[in-house]
Structure 1
Amino acid sequence: MTPEIALQTALRTRLVSTAAVASLVPAAAILDRNEQPAPDPSIIIGEGQSVDEGNAIARDLVRVYMDMHVWKREPSTAGAKAIAGAIRTALKLRLDLTGTGFHCSDSRVRSIRFLRDPDGETSHAVVAVEALVEEIG
C-alpha cells in the first residue's frame, strides 16, 4: 500500500458513508475512473501529488494532495456547489487510515474551484484535499 492509495481509499469510504454526500451522489458514482462523459452526478477521485516533508531521516512523513472532480449536468453551478459543500463537511474530521500501515496526522479540504464545462450543460468543481500521512511500523 502507498500513502496515496491509503488516502484515496479513506476518502471514498468517508464519502460513501456520509449521508449528506450519498443523498446527492450515489456510491456507485464516487470512483476513480477516467470516463467521458463522467456519470451524472459523480465524484471522480483524480490527480494527486506526494511531497516528502523532509523532516526526518526516516522519510516516513509525506504530504499528499489529491483532487476530486465533481460533475453535475445542470445549467448553473448550484448542484456542484451543494455536492462540494457536502464533501467539505464530510472531510472536516481527520481521515482514518487504520489497517493500511499509515496514519493520517491531519487532513483538510484545501480549496474548491467551480467551473462551467465548455459543453454548456455541465457544471464542474475541483475539490483539492491535503493530508499529512505518516508511515507506521
Structure 2
Amino acid sequence: MTPEVALQTAVRARLIATPGVIALVPSANILDRNERPNPRPSIIIGEGQAVDEGDTIARTRVRVYMDLHIWIEEPSTAGSKALAGAIRTALRARLVPGYAGIHIPDCRVASARFLRDPDGKTSHGVVTVNAVVEEA
C-alpha cells in the first residue's frame, strides 16, 4: 500500500461516514474518476502529490497533498462553501488508514477555493488536504 492510496482510502471512508457530509452529497457521489460531467452534487478525489519530508533517515515519512473537487449545481458558491466546511470538520479527527503498517499522524484541510464553472449553473470548489503519512 502506498501512502497516497492509504490517505485517499482513509479520507473517502471518513467522508462517507460523516453525517454532515452525506447530508450534502450522497456517498455514491464521493469517488475517484476522470470523467466529465461529474454527478451533481459530488466530491471527486483529484490530483495529488507526495513529498519526502526528509526528516527521517529511513525515509518512511511522506507529506501527501490531495485535492478534493466539489461540484454542485447552484447559482452561487454557498453550497460549495458549506460542503468544504463539512469536509474540514470531518477531517479534524485523526484518520485511521485501515492498512497495517501505515499511520496518518496529521491530516488537515490546507486550503479551499471556490469557482464558478463556465456552464453558468455549476459551483466548483477545490479543497486541498495536507497529511503526513508514515510507513512502518
Q: Structure 1, residues 28-57: CA drift from partner, whole Å, max 9, x if none?
A: 000000121110000000100000011122
Q: Percent identity?
A: 68
Tell me the residue number matched to 2:135. Answer: 135
Q: Where in structure 2 are there 5+ consecutive unaligned residues? A: none
Q: Structure 1, residues 58-115: CA drift from partner, whole Å, max 9, x if none?
A: 1100000000000001111111111111101101112112424210111100000011
Give 4+ residue runs of structure 1 displaced > 4 Å after superposition.
none
Q: Where in structure 1 are there 5+ consecutive unaligned residues? A: none
Kept after mapping to 2: 8 A contact 1:94/1:108: no
Residue 46 of structure 1 aligns to a residue whose secondary structure is strand
Counterpart Cα distance in 1 of 2:33 and 2:101: 25
Counterpart Cα distance in 2 of 1:51 and 1:70: 24
Kept after mapping to 2: 8 A contact 1:6/1:100: no
Q: What is the TM-score of this pair, normalised by structure 1?
A: 0.96
Please report the RMSD computed on the Cα atoms of aligned residues, expressed in angstroms. Answer: 0.8
Kept after mapping to 2: 8 A contact 1:6/1:97: yes
Tell me the residue number matched to 1:67. Answer: 67
For 1:52, the aligned partner's letter is D
For 2:20, the aligned partner's letter is A
Tell me the residue number matched to 1:51. Answer: 51
Tell me the residue number matched to 2:39. Answer: 39
Residue 94 of structure 1 aligns to a residue whose secondary structure is coil
Tell me the residue number matched to 1:120. Answer: 120
Q: 1:87-102 counterparts in 2 under 5 A? A: 87-102=87-102
Kept after mapping to 2: 8 A contact 1:66/1:129: yes
Counterpart Cα distance in 2 of 1:16 and 1:98: 15
Kept after mapping to 1: 8 A contact 2:67/2:127: yes
Counterpart Cα distance in 1 of 2:95 and 2:110: 14
For 1:115, the aligned partner's letter is L
Counterpart Cα distance in 1 of 2:99 and 2:36: 33
The verdict on how the C-alpha distance between 1:30 and 1:100 changes in structure 2, with shifts beyond 3 A counting, is: farther
Residue 114 of structure 2 aligns to a residue whose secondary structure is strand
Kept after mapping to 1: 8 A contact 2:10/2:98: no
